[in-house]
Amino acid sequence: MSKILGVLGGMGPLATVDFLQKLIEETPARRDQDHVPVIAYSVPQIPERPPAITGNGESPLPQMLAGVQALKRAGASAIAIACNTAYYWHDALAAQGGLPILHIADAACAALAPQASQRIGLIATDGTIAAGFYQSRLQSRGVQCLLSSAEDHSTLIVPAIACVKRNELAQAHALAVAAARHLLDQGAQAIILGCTEIPLAIEHQPSDVARHCVDATRALARECVQWYRGG
């Protein structure tokens, strides 16, 4: 058996489906057999990631590790995680899970246009922001990372994510677009959508902010296609 991509998902379930859909869209294929072979572990019975990072919640690491091990047993040869916040545990999962893990933030940063070189907005959970893996990558490229205000975070981004998890996409769209627009108003040249729920909200309808957004989910999907096809 050749390469099989393992997808650690369920955080949440709709974001996992979105990742699998984008994996298909990013694959040049004329027939079924051209597509990336994938096993997706979407078991959402797992503690929420942001509170675990910010210090108030149970760690999801044991369940995530169980997911990686299940994927390995099933035949996966590398892992992609369909959840930005979960990358906080990337190093522990890679070390203990025994499989290479493609990094969503590397993929998203690689997808930035060369001219977006000064100031990049980031929409993410407080867990992802606290983890800092986007900021450190942007900093090492000499790019300033612009975050939403605390008020925008609590009144727009957190509710937008919750709406996606309830499949209320129209409301999620309005909230996420407003948060993106505020970052553009503050001079962001592009915005990384660094939470797998946010692209679902932004893409629900056309909007003027969409062309400035880099979808980390799609960037990861593209990276996975390259991994599969790249010998």
Residues making contact with its own copies (CB under 8 A): 2, 4, 10-14, 16-17, 20-21, 24-25, 29-35, 37-46, 48, 70-71, 73-75, 165-167
**Is the distance from CB of 188 to CB of 119 less than 8 angstroms?**
yes
Minimum distance between the CB of residue 25 and its own copies, rounded to whole angstroms? 7
Our CB check for its own copies shows the closer of 74 and 170 to be 74
Minimum distance between the CB of residue 185 and its own copies, rounded to whole angstroms? 32
Minimum distance between the CB of residue 127 and its own copies, rounded to whole angstroms? 14
Our CB check for its own copies shows the closer of 52 and 183 to be 52
Minimum distance between the CB of residue 38 and its own copies, rounded to whole angstroms? 5
Our CB check for its own copies shows the closer of 24 and 110 to be 24
Minimum distance between the CB of residue 34 and its own copies, rounded to whole angstroms? 8
Our CB check for its own copies shows the closer of 121 and 199 to be 199
**Is the distance from CB of 105 to CB of 137 less than 8 angstroms?**
yes
What would the 3-class secondary structure string for the chain be?
CCCCEEEEECCCHHHHHHHHHHHHHCCCCCCHHHCCCEEEEECCCCCCHHHHHHCCCCCCHHHHHHHHHHHHHHCCCEEEECCCHHHHHHHHHHHHHCCCECCHHHHHHHCCCCCCCCEEEEECCHHHHHHCHHHHHHHHCCCEEEECCHHHHHHHHHHHHHHHHCCCHHHHHHHHHHHHHHHHHCCCCEEEECCCHHHHHHCCCCCCCHHHEEEHHHHHHHHHHHHHHCC
Our CB check for its own copies shows the closer of 33 and 140 to be 33
Our CB check for its own copies shows the closer of 2 and 115 to be 2
Minimum distance between the CB of residue 31 and its own copies, rounded to whole angstroms? 6
**Is the distance from CB of 1 to CB of 199 less than 8 angstroms?**
no
